[in-house]
């Protein structure tokens, strides 16, 4: 069973415009939607949709926190959140013509006591794997993630920014940086797929058993004891990239929960991600045909 921990969740607001955005003028949206967001929350929704036992934990506050809790419960996601003062942040993605703008808030300020409260919630679930996803709110240091990793007999997966990844000291089963985070955290040249795999090898030397790197239109690499695997991205029409990396990771974890090997897991992750980016927002897409989509993903060794 998987528990997801989202220290700094958000309500994801997606606004679409028919015309290009411009300063000093009123822009009228063609459509808008609100979704429960945050890396761990997105993963919990996807894992639940794929029938994998999962509990979503994290920090929630205010009316936006209530929206996230209610949305997850409506989606059938089991939750065990910790309530905090302040208001959970609102992140906005504006899609205008062929351009995408992202505006992310910082989130409410908290203190280290919330880590103890979250550890209690995690331990109560007796998970096999714990996914810590997303940014840290003001008031917390990377040690808040290390404490989760060292807090019990479970595998810990981390999906956070490169600046935080550099500061982690605990042992982790997997980290999932994107291309930019790979470069920022290692100083390596990540302009090629091979360069990304080399940077992933460097990450492994820092205490990560496996490294799953999302490369956008170039696909993804998974580097671990099974070797260096590269999956090409599928040829699809991309509408919105928000949540693509979360979907990649969720697909990989879902496959591992079913006992799949790394190659099958990587193909599954790319397949799930391909379904998410073909629609706006971070709501869970229809995954009924995910097995047939997975069969179309090409994986090779580097």
- Active-site positions read 246
Cα–Cα separations (whole angstroms), residue 164 to 3, 145, 177, 187, 241: 21, 9, 11, 15, 22
Q: How many CA atoms lie within 13 A of 198 on its CB side?
A: 10
Q: What is the phi/psi pair of residue 125, to 5°? A: -90, -15
Handedness of CA 177, 181, 236, 30 (dihedral sign): positive
Which of 241, 237, 255 has its CA nearest to residue 229? 255
Question: Which helix (H) or strand (E) is 145 found in, with range?
Answer: helix 143-149
> Would you mind telling me the total number of residues written for the chain in this entry?
302
* Beta carbons within 10 angstroms of residue 113's beta carbon: 11
């Amino acid at each position: 069973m998987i528990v997801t921990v989202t220290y700094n969740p958000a309500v994801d607001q997606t606004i679409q415009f028919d015309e290009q955005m411009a300063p000093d003028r009123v822009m009228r949206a063609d459509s808008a939607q609100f979704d429960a967001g945050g890396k761990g929350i997105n993963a919990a929704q996807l894992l639940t949709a794929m029938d994998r036992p999962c509990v979503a934990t994290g920090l929630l506050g205010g009316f936006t926190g209530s929206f996230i809790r209610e949305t997850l419960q409506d989606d059938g996601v089991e939750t065990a959140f910790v309530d905090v003062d302040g208001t959970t942040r609102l992140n906005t993605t504006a899609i205008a013509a062929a351009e995408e703008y992202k505006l992310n808030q910082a989130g409410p300020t908290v203190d280290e006591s919330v880590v103890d409260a979250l550890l209690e919630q995690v331990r109560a679930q007796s998970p096999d794997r714990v996914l810590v996803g997303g940014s840290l709110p003001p008031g917390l240091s990377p040690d808040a993630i290390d404490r989760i990793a060292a807090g019990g007999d479970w595998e810990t997966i981390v999906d956070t920014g490169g600046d935080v990844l550099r500061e982690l000291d605990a042992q982790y089963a997997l980290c999932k940086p994107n291309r930019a985070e790979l470069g920022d955290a290692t100083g390596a040249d990540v302009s090629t797929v091979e360069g990304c795999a080399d940077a992933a090898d460097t990450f492994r030397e820092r205490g990560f058993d496996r490294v799953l790197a999302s490369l956008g239109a170039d696909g993804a690499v998974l580097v671990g004891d099974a070797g260096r695997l590269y999956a090409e991205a599928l040829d699809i029409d991309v509408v919105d990239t928000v949540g693509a990396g979360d979907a990649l990771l969720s697909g990989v974890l879902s496959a591992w929960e079913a006992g799949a090997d790394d190659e099958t897991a990587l193909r599954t992750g790319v397949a799930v991600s391909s379904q998410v980016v073909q629609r706006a927002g971070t709501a869970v897409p229809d995954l009924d045909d995910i097995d047939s989509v997975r069969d179309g993903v090409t994986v090779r060794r580097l």
